[in-house]
Structure 1
Amino acid sequence: MYVLRPDLSEDQVNEATRKYQEMLANLGATSIQNKIWGRRRLAYEIQRFQDGIYVLIHYQGDGSQIAPVERAMRLSEEVIRYITLKLDEEKPEAEDSEPVAVEA
């Protein structure tokens, strides 16, 4: 997830999201999904901004994509905050919650 400056135009937001999506694809990431959450209030002021444009991006990769993308975001003037989280694979839940009898 990353937060863009609130004073960016819609074209600039689309260009920034396309840039990071293409960067991830070039670095070998697969199943890339962008979701622009839009302008929202920040929990605290960042660089004198009280609002930001939130963008959530999901992708699958081996981890080598993280450092180059975070470096590009850190050097970018459009991105005011970013965070990368590793999600575990979803574990299937048991259909029945009843205890199962096991014979010894």
Structure 2
Amino acid sequence: MPAQNPTYDLMLLLDTAAEEEQRTKVLAEAERILESSSATIVSKHDWGVRRTAFEIRHKNDAEYHLLQFQGGPETPAALDRYLRIADGVVRFRVIKLRAGLGPVPDLRAANEPAPEVVAAEAAAAPVERL
């Protein structure tokens, strides 16, 4: 029985100063590389614009994307070749995951307050009287 291809994470930080068209092109090309190397995309997560932990190339924020895929060892090498020279890429990392890890958390939902918190904050806000 052949062993299943390992699962990888591609964490991609795109330059927010780059045009939307360029950022879309980088994502599309990364997906094309995955498909052409017969890798399977397991999940895609767009985490939006976030502040970086430290300044990278004089930039304080980046557009975060996570692509999980299963593929052979040649797939990360192909991604590495393209992403090193692509315009609009601030930073990227391909990580081989251990088997049995849980699903990726939805960070977009984690940053938005729950509706009951918003309602409670609105009710507690002082009312200005004229």
Q: Normalising by structure 2, what TM-score?
A: 0.64
Correspondence for 2:49? 39
**CA shift at 1:49, angstroms?**
0.6
Deviations 1:29-87 (A, max 9, x none): 01343211110001111111110011100000112101111111111121111111111
2:68 matches 1:61: no
Identity among equivalent pairs (%): 29
Alignment of 1:45-84 (within 5 A): 45-84=55-94
**CA shift at 1:23, angstroms?**
1.0
Name the amino acid aligned to 1:65: T
**CA shift at 1:22, angstroms?**
0.9
Correspondence for 2:28? 18
More helix, by proportion: 2
Provide the aligned length of Structure 1 versus Structure 2: 91
Correspondence for 1:85? 95
2:22 matches 1:2: no
**CA shift at 1:28, angstroms?**
1.3
- Taking the aligned partners of 2:42 and 2:82, their CA distance within structure 1 comes to 18
Gaps of 5+ in 1: 92-104
Query: Would you say the 8 A contact 2:83–2:92 is kept in 1?
Result: yes
Moved over 4 A (4+): none
Q: Normalising by structure 1, what TM-score?
A: 0.78
Aligned-CA RMSD value: 1.5
Gaps of 5+ in 2: 1-10, 102-130
